[in-house]
Amino acid sequence: MNINLSVGPLVALLAGILILVFPRLLSTIVALYLIVIGVLGLIGVHQLHF
């Protein structure tokens, strides 16, 4: 059995849950998500699979 998980949807799911539980974290979660996506884009990692 082979399971492929992409980082983007997994991070989005985790961020969505955290925003529902802690609404004040919205700006922090969005900022961290954008920073991580930007850094991954700059170093050339387009898709990560676990």
pLDDT over 70 percentage in the chain: 76
Task: Return the pLDDT at 46.
Answer: 60
Structural domains in the chain (count)? 1
Task: Return the pLDDT at 49.
Answer: 52
Decide if 15 contacts 29 (C-beta within 8 A): yes
List Cβ neighbours of 48 (8 Å cut-off, separation of 6 or more): 6, 7, 40
Question: Residue 38 domain-assigned?
Answer: yes
pTM of the model: 0.52
Question: Residue 21 domain-assigned?
Answer: yes
State both tokens at 22: 């802690």
Decide if 5 contacts 47 (C-beta within 8 A): no
> 17 is in which domain, residue-wise?
7-44
Higher pLDDT, 47 or 7: 7
Question: Residue 1 domain-assigned?
Answer: no
Over the stretch 12-24, which tens digit does the pLDDT of each residue have? 788 788 888 888 8
Closest of 43, 20, 40, 21 to residue 32, by C-alpha: 40
